[in-house]
Amino acid sequence: MIKQQNGDAMAETSDVHDDLDINHKNLHDPNPPVVVVWKNVVWMASLHSGALYGLFLVPSASVSTLIWTAVCYLLTALGITAGAHRLWSHRSYKATFSLRVFLALCNSMAFQNHIYEWSRDHRVHHKHSETNADPHNAKRGFFFSHVGWVMVRKHPCVIEKGQTIDLSDLKADKVVMFQKRYYRLSVLILCFVVPTLVPWYFWGESLVVGYFVPGLLRYMSFLNATWLVNSAAHMWGNRPYDKNINPAENTLVSFSTVGEGFHNYHHTFPFDYAASEFGYKLNLTTMFIDFMCFLGLASDRKKVSKEMIIARMKRTGDYSYRSG
Ligand code: ST9
Ligand code: ZN
Ligand code: ZN
């Protein structure tokens, strides 16, 4: 018989399989206790405090620094939207090696877990949306789906169902595996050091403003924008494509995530490279992917036909608007 609480008790264990049995039992407990990861609570509170301080420093930042902050925000966003999301999670288009390297660098700038982990969790999110196996299950409320889920241990169902997801394409992508290997170093350099040092070195901005404005404020703004997709866009908005699911069309989220707030459309047609019916409307990411295709760096964009969209809207939509 195993006792879990301390090392001495563990030493009494006669059979290592007892340990496995306990894990197995926990795995099938539908409501395991919530285990708070206090390290992450402190980390998130510190980052948000730093970002808030950055907000107060904005008036003292030079125009060049503010432009740099916007550039960093855009690069950060593309690393998630065009990279981790539309390319690596959904394979909605193909990208050359050099574009994948660029997107992986942008992804490290976003510091939202490495591409492999992000895409794995996102595939689980789509397949098991709004269940215990969804890493940010919106049925557990706004706070949990927004930020709470990064401060507690995952529900065992997330891991159990996640293990059934095919990740062979990610494992075969050398760029993804290289970024996974050097993730911490790449985050340190691209999310914190580069945004801070560029304004200091090139136009004499103070290191404090560099760290707190293009550094922390930019990082936390896009992190919260991303989280809004999981929280707000899973709760509020129209459902013109499928009224039977929670994901909704949310304009504010589309704006802040450069094109990822058309969430009812996205959950209905997850393989569409534009993640929206409406082309470039509030969708800089689609513009970017099209431009990459124009340059010959991307190809094979998957798009849902107008006929298919209209048929689906008639069948399952909430009739909140007609297809444009
Ligand atoms: C951050 C948040 O990184 C990331 C934000 C991403 C938001 C994604 C939103 C996507 C939806 C949006 C919709 C579309 C639009 C998108 C564009 C938007 C613009 N399957 O994780 P562990 C296994 S915050 C299979 O430690 P715990 C696996 O073996 C900033 N297996 O679980 C794993 O080991 P490994 C920085 C899975 O202990 C092992 O379990 N990041 C799966 O419960 C343990 O995994 C942080 O602060 C799965 N799905 O801890 C880090 N999951 O992978 C925050 C796990 O090593 N994270 N396994 O082989 C953590 O500290 C921890 O993950 C934890 C859970 C405390 C949250
Ligand atoms: Zn979603
Ligand atoms: Zn998705």
Residue 321 lies in a domain: no
- Domain membership of residue 1 as a residue range: 1-30
Q: How confident is the model at residue 323 (pLDDT cuts 50, 70, 90)?
A: low
**Claim to verify: residue 204 and residue 239 sit in the same structural domain:** yes
**Claim to verify: residue 278 and residue 312 sit in the same structural domain:** yes
**Claim to verify: residue 18 and residue 73 sit in the same structural domain:** no
Nearest CA to ligand 1 atom 63: 150
Question: How many CA atoms lie less than 13 Å away from 263 in the CB half-sphere?
Answer: 29
**Claim to verify: residue 24 and residue 35 sit in the same structural domain:** no
Closest CA to 179 of 106, 269, 288, 248: 106
The number of the ligand 1 atom at minimal distance from the alpha carbon of 122 is 10
**89 C-alpha to center of ligand 1: Å?**
14
**144 C-alpha to center of ligand 1: Å?**
14
Residue appearing with tokens 């008036």: 59
For the cut 60, the answer to whether the pLDDT of residue 214 exceeds it is: yes
Q: What average pLDDT is seen over the chain?
A: 91
**Claim to verify: residue 12 and residue 70 sit in the same structural domain:** no
Would you state the structure tokens that stand for residue 129, as one six-digit string?
Answer: 């949306």
Instruction: Domain count for the chain, please give it.
Output: 2
Give tens-digit pLDDT for 223-236.
999 999 999 999 99
**Claim to verify: residue 96 and residue 109 sit in the same structural domain:** yes
Closest CA to 179 of 94, 263, 83: 83
Give tens-digit pLDDT for 250-293.
999 999 999 999 999 999 999 999 999 999 999 999 999 999 99
Say what the pLDDT of residue 133 is: 96
Q: What is the pTM assigned to this prediction?
A: 0.91
**229 C-alpha to center of ligand 2: Å?**
6
Say what the pLDDT of residue 2 is: 30
For the cut 50, the answer to whether the pLDDT of residue 13 exceeds it is: no
Residues 72 and 211: their CA atoms lie apart, in Å, by 12
**Claim to verify: residue 265 and residue 154 sit in the same structural domain:** yes
67-79 average pLDDT score: 98
Say what the pLDDT of residue 18 is: 31
**Claim to verify: residue 137 and residue 252 sit in the same structural domain:** yes
Residues 119 and 96: their CA atoms lie apart, in Å, by 19
**Claim to verify: residue 271 and residue 143 sit in the same structural domain:** yes
**121 C-alpha to center of ligand 1: Å?**
6
Helices and strands: H and E segment counts in the chain? 18, 2
Neighbours of 62 (CB within 10 A): 14
**Claim to verify: residue 14 and residue 157 sit in the same structural domain:** no
Ligand 1 interacting residues, C-beta cut-off 6 A? 37, 40, 80-81, 85, 111-113, 117-118, 120-122, 124-125, 150, 153-154, 158-159, 162-163, 226, 229-230, 257, 260
Complex ipTM value: 0.94
Give tens-digit pLDDT for 23-47.
434 445 667 889 999 999 999 999 9
Nearest CA to ligand 1 atom 36: 112
Say what the pLDDT of residue 112 is: 98
More confident residue, 25 or 159: 159
**263 C-alpha to center of ligand 3: Å?**
8
The number of the ligand 1 atom at minimal distance from the alpha carbon of 222 is 19
Residue 324 lies in a domain: no
Say what the pLDDT of residue 26 is: 46
Say what the pLDDT of residue 32 is: 82
**199 C-alpha to center of ligand 3: Å?**
34
Q: Which of 103, 107, 159, 282, when mutated, tests ligand 1's pocket best, judged by the most ligand atoms within 8 Å of its CB?
A: 159
**Claim to verify: residue 154 and residue 268 sit in the same structural domain:** yes
Q: Which of 41, 47, 113, when mutated, tests ligand 1's pocket best, judged by the most ligand atoms within 8 Å of its CB?
A: 113
Residue 290 lies in a domain: yes
Nearest CA to ligand 1 atom 56: 117
Which residues contact residue 40 at a Cβ distance below 8 angstroms, ignoring those fewer than 6 apart?
150, 151
Which residues contact residue 245 at a Cβ distance below 8 angstroms, ignoring those fewer than 6 apart?
129, 130, 239, 264, 267, 268
**Claim to verify: residue 229 and residue 284 sit in the same structural domain:** yes
Say what the pLDDT of residue 135 is: 97
Q: How confident is the model at residue 322 (pLDDT cuts 50, 70, 90)?
A: low
